[in-house]
Amino acid sequence: DTVSVTPTEILTKLKRDCATPLPLLQQVANAMSADMRAGLGPGPGPGPGLPMIPTYVDNLPTGNEKGLFYALDLGGTNFRVLRVQLGGKDERVIATEFDQVSIPQHLMFGASEELFDFIASGLAKFASNEDGRFHVSPGRKREIGFTFSFPVKQTSIDSGILVKWTKGFAVSGTVGRDVVACLNEAMERQGLDMRVSALVNDAVGTLAGAEYWDNDVMVAVILGTGTNACYVEQMSAIPKLTEHVSSSGKMIISTEWGAFSNGLPLTEFDREMDAASINPGEQIFEKTIAGMYLGEIVRRVLIKMAEEDALFGKSVPPNLSTPFILGTPVICAMQQDYSGDLHRVGSLLYDKAGVESKLSERKTVLEVCDTIVKRGGSLAGAGIVGILQKMEEDSKGVILGRRSVVAIDGGLYENYPQYRAYLLDSVKELLGTEKSNDVVIEHTKDGSGIGAALLAASNSIYN
Ligand code: ADP
């Protein structure tokens, strides 16, 4: 191994700008706590701090839930349906079954009724073939937990007004309407006698699903294409929610932490990517830590290195100028190349961006990937510690000093080992060895579907 990397000025500066030493991570965690607290403050409408959306989920699954429940998940280019037969404390989950339907492109740009009719007909088809393992109690409607991962303004557990479509959806006629009513009307048109008993987002579904198996789960984090986190808050610490009565004295709050931006170590590449995005100035934390963006930041660094330092020879590889041509799964695959000549890095660069590279150049590329991924994972860890700190401040000793579980789901956390390791390191470094022994970070997979069905059960109209 004789080829060394020339530490170009761009790489040196990048590493300096992206550095996440402990004091910086501490500041980020503190700012996250402060912005959470500010977002819970009194008064209607958007105030300072994070959105901190009350979810009206104030009864978490206990394990006693019984009966047949459905879940419907709409959050991307697929919708998923699931049914589960719950058997209470002893039998738990007796049977589950699920199906996935991809949403035709034209429905993402069509009229609201068309989209909801399509979903309701998929649900009707699924509901029509229940086998003998599933049975609804006589005289009861089938109840659904609806996971809807777009910004909604909720005023109860079973209603929510769509604020805006995101993630490529541009359906007309839904914004400003109650999405549960939209679905109910479509189900009626299908002659489908079901009712939505809980409306949640994927983070809330994940928290409920994980809590069902482990009562110490306090926080859920989604790290996929985008990111969000939610946690269990004391009603007394939610000044902006005065009129709601919660029998448990608690409610899940969706932090919408993707909107956080305080004190983040940002670079010129982040600023340029933000300026070129569909939502400039928004979701800065998300743009620094989530899967949609990590590869794109790397691409922007490589372009500059190609232009100014002739990283890939005299001319800039033309394909490298295409935004989002390097996805996060690609930089992840490159980072799993432990061969001496980095041939996998070379072939990925060539296949994905038409880039021919020498060994020294491949090493530089890997250093760029590592720098961006280290920053992302470390900051995500600092965000998690910020949430734990906020909870600890309001409930002395209830969070730290006993076992607390953070459930994480999402393709980024699941598939990117380096990202996961940086996140875990950051949490450990921030909490210190003793406290971090009490905090369990758990990977949960696809818990949000079951979680939504469980919330339909715990919020059943028949309870
Ligand atoms: P969602 O789009 O609902 O967030 P997922 O939780 O499955 O869905 O996350 C998908 C995201 O996870 C992708 O956009 C990508 O950023 C990231 N991802 C998927 N596979 C990999 C991988 N092999 N390596 C790194 N990141 C990945």
Q: What is the mean pLDDT of residues 85-96?
A: 94
Q: What is the mean pLDDT of residues 81-96?
A: 95
Alpha-carbon distance 463 to 461, whole Å? 6
Q: Supply the mean pLDDT for the chain.
A: 94
Location of structure tokens 């579907």: 449
Q: Catalytic positions, please?
A: 167, 202
- Phi-psi map region of 345: left, alpha, beta (phi>0 left; psi -120 to 50 alpha): alpha
Predicted local distance difference test score (pLDDT) of residue 463: 87
410: Cβ below 6 Å to ligand 1?
yes
In this model, does residue 2 exceed pLDDT 50? no
Ligand 1 centroid from CA 225, angstroms? 5
63: Cβ below 6 Å to ligand 1?
no
206: Cβ below 6 Å to ligand 1?
no
Going by alpha carbons, the residue nearest to atom 24 of ligand 1 is 329
pLDDT digits (tens, 9 = 90+) for 332-386: 999 999 999 999 999 999 999 999 999 999 999 999 999 999 999 999 999 999 9
Going by alpha carbons, the residue nearest to atom 6 of ligand 1 is 410
Domains of the chain: 1-52+214-446 (3.40.367.20), 56-200 (3.30.420.40)
Ligand 1 centroid from CA 416, angstroms? 9
Across 307-337, b (16+ Cβ under 10 Å) vs e yields eeeebbeeebbeebeeeeebbbbbbbbbbeb
Going by alpha carbons, the residue nearest to atom 12 of ligand 1 is 411
Candidate from 55-59, 164-168, 411-415, 442-446 with smallest mean pLDDT: 164-168
Is the CB of residue 162 less than 8 Å from the CB of residue 177?
Answer: yes
From 73, 166, 221, 225, give the residue whose CB has the most ligand 1 atoms within 8 Å, as the site to mutate. Answer: 225
Residue 108 identity (one-letter amino acid): M
And the tokens for 249? Answer: 């004295």
Cα four-point dihedral sign 50, 393, 244, 463: positive
In this model, does residue 328 exceed pLDDT 60? yes
Going by alpha carbons, the residue nearest to atom 15 of ligand 1 is 291
Cα four-point dihedral sign 36, 407, 70, 115: positive
In this model, does residue 213 exceed pLDDT 50? yes
ipTM: 0.98
